[in-house]
Structure 1
């Protein structure tokens, strides 16, 4: 299929040139996805989708337009190109728009080393259904579980090819396999739910359905009879399951789009301390079997390992070509795109320096405080970093978990908060964002 996608992108580029485009890039994506849901031991839903999508971006001078379609006939592509060029001629000029110069392009790469796609056969629907059933049965086997809200298994495969009039042409395949379960404990207004799940590139790496179902059930039981803590300033430990959200907020603030627009609380912070001494945040798009890995970005530039933060110091922003040009910098090879829009900056695999102590050791240090295991909503001021989120988890007294809590709001300033984090050593190494549990001193909690 990769040859077919390559031909489609070349057909789009040729059509764009005939329509009068000065430059163009094209993307073709085909994929298969299969999702199975089980409820009460029976198949509840089965969905399968297959299709090919194409996208074309054209430039007329510094004016550009993007068009997309799921019809790959040559006459459709010709019409797409004509419409795109007509749209571009009416678009406003953007001095930062344009594809890469040929000398910026990646020349060679090793797809095999990244292990982006599982070579084993696509799982049969019956096999996915069996995994979902096993996860549900494992959850229901735990005493105290009233029901399982959902148990699911899914598979996906995607082929991507990108080409541009500057001479770039490249593509790759990617697979995904997942199992998940949501369990419910308690009755009536006292019901609580929690989940577990796993998603991998290779099916052989996936955790067992039994482990996932049992974990979801145990987590739901732990949340029964929650209370609301007293309002005040306390240490807060963000559990590994949700700790990466803090790093995500920081990455949003150093995204080139936010910085170029002036809507970032880290604008102008390159070279400044943003994390504690000794902590680094490494981006590695070449990590095997990771969902954020790729050999090149959506503009044909080489992806590369970089220290986004080194020893607590912010080293740079996340940039594509347009935002780099606007800021007078160089692209970091972080352009991402789909078929219906142009590129924008996006971070790849991230890994935060882990600590030397476990989660339980950090809880013991807290004395009195909160362990957060789930969060809802978010209010973040993009210019100041003021932060407020609803949370649930467990209250800590005398350095030990005391009882579950819910209905609490956490507030602080991200710029100050991130400089006070203490990491545990419990990050899951196969995730795209490898972030351990994070302890933060002195956050404001709004409870009773």
Structure 2
């Protein structure tokens, strides 16, 4: 019997107990995680940790009342107590007219193989060597004066879901990562920067030394940064920050925000919200994807969706509850924890690349700003107003020149989305990915 079989057996018994005790419906989740990480600073080990944990979550429903309880103890007596607590809570909470399990016909009947599990656990020595190589390469860059440390890690999580209306499936996923942060310069002129890499399979992880060199070179390039004058100009977003545009979109098209009427895109379904030719995809079935999953947190089948197709907004991101509020069908985007009800979330979200290289994208910019770092969350989700601290480089005659810090970039997401031009350099590095992006007509505030 596999670990997934054990989890499904445990959850099936738990759901059966809840039904026998009086629940009208129930579902349960089991998360088993294992992790190994090593951190070092200035060549000296700081930490080598192994973590193993498990969480069980039970949701019960009495009519239109639901309650969620969780535990890290899977002993039979503890699970009996879990059922008792859940039912006691469900009897006193307010009714939720939109709660409930999926209809039987909505449940996933097959689970695709997404190849998201590296079954081999790396030895501690492997992680130690990755962190060492990463930090040494970063510190070897001329101009680097200190290190904030390097870390390498590996993790595996096994996820199982059982519902009282017939769903019982599980899957496992893994992740490897390595990263470093270093400091360049001296005294008041110091600057820091970082880089990292992550992958499902250890063999697909970027060379740790290359990651370290990039971190060191980025920190050195930031030396002697200046505060810019305030003006309106074209802005280029580096891929390390361009994915923030996708996250702002995801928040604006989330089912709960639309149901509450608190999104600046609430009336824009089937309308042009991005420039023509822009396509933004959410693909939970991407092989080796960092956020891939074969079904959603409510047991529904999920699939690749173009949220933005040719610049047009095609759908909201919905779980069952928000879909019911909107009189629609779930898009299979439910995410789930052990101690909270399902809520909608994207998976592998990305913007398809354009046709111009990053150099071509900014070749005609006489005066612009290339953003490599963003700070703060100055986003008004109701109006779309946008204002964030930023750092990066001045663009002069199509070339990067002076490093810039203590700046603010501002605009409105409705206008920014319509003025985005993507480059051709899409790389899948995060759970949300975009190529280099150009947005004309934004405000840069400094002196």
Instruction: Pick the TM interval, shorter chain.
Output: over 0.9
Counterpart residue number, 2:374: 375
Counterpart residue number, 1:262: 261
Counterpart residue number, 2:288: 289
Residue-by-residue CA offset, 1:66-86 (whole Å, 9 max, x unaligned): 000000011111111111011
Aligned partner of residue 210 in structure 2, secondary structure: helix
Residue-by-residue CA offset, 1:172-200 (whole Å, 9 max, x unaligned): 01000000011110011111011111010
Aligned pairs for 1:182-331 within 5 A: 182-331=181-330
Counterpart residue number, 1:92: 94
2:37 maps to which of 10, 19, 35: 35
Residue-by-residue CA offset, 1:143-182 (whole Å, 9 max, x unaligned): 1110121100000001010000000000001000000011
Aligned partner of residue 11 in structure 2, secondary structure: helix
State the alpha-carbon separation in 2 of the partners of residues 408 and 3 from structure 1. 54
2:8 maps to which of 3, 6, 9: 6
State the alpha-carbon separation in 2 of the partners of residues 358 and 393 from structure 1. 19
State the alpha-carbon separation in 2 of the partners of residues 398 and 232 from structure 1. 17
1:320–1:331 Cα contact (<8 Å) kept: yes
2:197–2:429 Cα contact (<8 Å) kept: no
Say if 1:425 and 1:256 are closer, same or farther in 2 by CA, change over 3 A. same
State the alpha-carbon separation in 1 of the partners of residues 139 and 351 from structure 2. 36
Structure 1 residue 11 displacement after superposition: 1.9
Residue-by-residue CA offset, 1:7-42 (whole Å, 9 max, x unaligned): 121121022112211000000111101111011111
Deviates most, 275-284 or 319-328? 275-284
State the alpha-carbon separation in 1 of the partners of residues 339 and 366 from structure 2. 51
Residue-by-residue CA offset, 1:230-251 (whole Å, 9 max, x unaligned): 1010110011110000111011
Counterpart residue number, 2:132: 133
After TM superposition, the score normalised by the length of structure 1 is 0.98
State the alpha-carbon separation in 1 of the partners of residues 189 and 133 from structure 2. 27
Counterpart residue number, 1:117: 117
Counterpart residue number, 1:405: 404
Structure 1 residue 45 displacement after superposition: 1.2
Contiguous gaps of at least 5 residues in structure 2: none
Contiguous gaps of at least 5 residues in structure 1: none
Counterpart residue number, 1:166: 165
Say if 1:207 and 1:109 are closer, same or farther in 2 by CA, change over 3 A. same
Counterpart residue number, 1:71: 73
State the alpha-carbon separation in 1 of the partners of residues 54 and 305 from structure 2. 33
Question: What is the aligned-residue RMSD (CA, Å)?
Answer: 1.0
Aligned partner of residue 57 in structure 1, secondary structure: strand
1:373–1:392 Cα contact (<8 Å) kept: yes
1:290–1:430 Cα contact (<8 Å) kept: no
Aligned pairs for 1:338-353 within 5 A: 338-353=337-352
Deviates most, 238-247 or 347-356? 347-356
Structure 1 residue 434 displacement after superposition: 2.9
Structure 1 residue 430 displacement after superposition: 5.2
1:290–1:431 Cα contact (<8 Å) kept: no
State the alpha-carbon separation in 1 of the partners of residues 226 and 356 from structure 2. 29
Deviates most, 6-15 or 294-303? 6-15
2:371–2:390 Cα contact (<8 Å) kept: yes
2:352–2:426 Cα contact (<8 Å) kept: no
State the alpha-carbon separation in 2 of the partners of residues 378 and 437 from structure 1. 21
State the alpha-carbon separation in 2 of the partners of residues 71 and 191 from structure 1. 48
State the alpha-carbon separation in 1 of the partners of residues 423 and 363 from structure 2. 12
State the alpha-carbon separation in 1 of the partners of residues 215 and 429 from structure 2. 20
Counterpart residue number, 1:21: 23
Residue-by-residue CA offset, 1:182-238 (whole Å, 9 max, x unaligned): 111001111101111101000000011110111100000000000011101011001
2:198–2:429 Cα contact (<8 Å) kept: no
Deviates most, 247-256 or 344-353? 344-353
Aligned partner of residue 316 in structure 2, secondary structure: coil
Aligned partner of residue 6 in structure 1, secondary structure: helix
After TM superposition, the score normalised by the length of structure 2 is 0.98
Aligned residues between the structures: 445
State the alpha-carbon separation in 2 of the partners of residues 207 and 195 from structure 1. 15
